[in-house]
């Protein structure tokens, strides 16, 4: 089986979370092919993708060039508004504190992620920036969508990286 695995056709057409996570996985594969940590993101507004991005930290030599941050910038440009109300951000790995904080600041309504990040996750795994009652905005969070595929992609990347060292 390849990294992308098999697509459940019925689910693809009936479940928008599955369909849009497939698009985020395509972005993650782009990052993988560039030697970046394979994380991909898309942002959806009114049923259509308005932003898509993948990690570019190494390529840009920029610690903030995470898929989510790049996608937030694109979505703000697409909507001509920094407030991303009524948007859903799909990302293959649970966002870190920086990305979750940016999502809260941008007023993203909903977050859907693939695999939890047990070291840096900020949408409920380690921290809960996304749904923190102390902040001015809270994001509805759904985790585990296409989790196995997201995990396989990350594990494959890090296994190849370790074998090079």
Question: Which member of 22, 36, 68, 94 is catalytic?
Answer: 68
Give the list of residues 6+ apart from residue 4 with CB closer than 8 angstroms, or none.
Answer: 25, 29, 149
- Residues 44 and 20: beta-carbon distance below 8 Å: yes
Tokens of 132: 């923190």
- Residues 31 and 54: beta-carbon distance below 8 Å: yes
Whether 58 is catalytic is no
**Residues pairing with 88 in the sheet:** 44, 110
Catalytic residues: 68
């Amino acid at each position: 089986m390849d990294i992308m695995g098999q697509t459940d056709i019925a689910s693809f057409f009936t479940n928008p979370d599955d369909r849009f996570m497939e698009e985020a996985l395509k972005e993650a594969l782009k990052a993988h092919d560039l030697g970046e940590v394979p994380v991909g993101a898309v942002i959806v507004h009114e049923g259509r993708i308005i932003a898509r991005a993948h990690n570019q930290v190494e390529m840009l030599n920029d610690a903030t060039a995470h898929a989510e941050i790049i996608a937030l910038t694109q979505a703000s440009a697409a909507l001509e508004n920094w407030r991303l109300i009524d948007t859903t951000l799909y990302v293959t790995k649970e966002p870190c504190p920086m990305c979750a904080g940016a999502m809260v600041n941008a007023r993203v309504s909903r977050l859907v992620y693939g695999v939890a990040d047990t070291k840096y996750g900020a949408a409920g795994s380690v921290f809960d920036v996304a749904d923190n009652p102390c902040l001015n905005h809270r994001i509805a969070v759904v985790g585990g969508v296409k989790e196995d595929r997201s995990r396989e992609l990350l594990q494959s990347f890090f296994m190849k990286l370790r074998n090079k060292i």
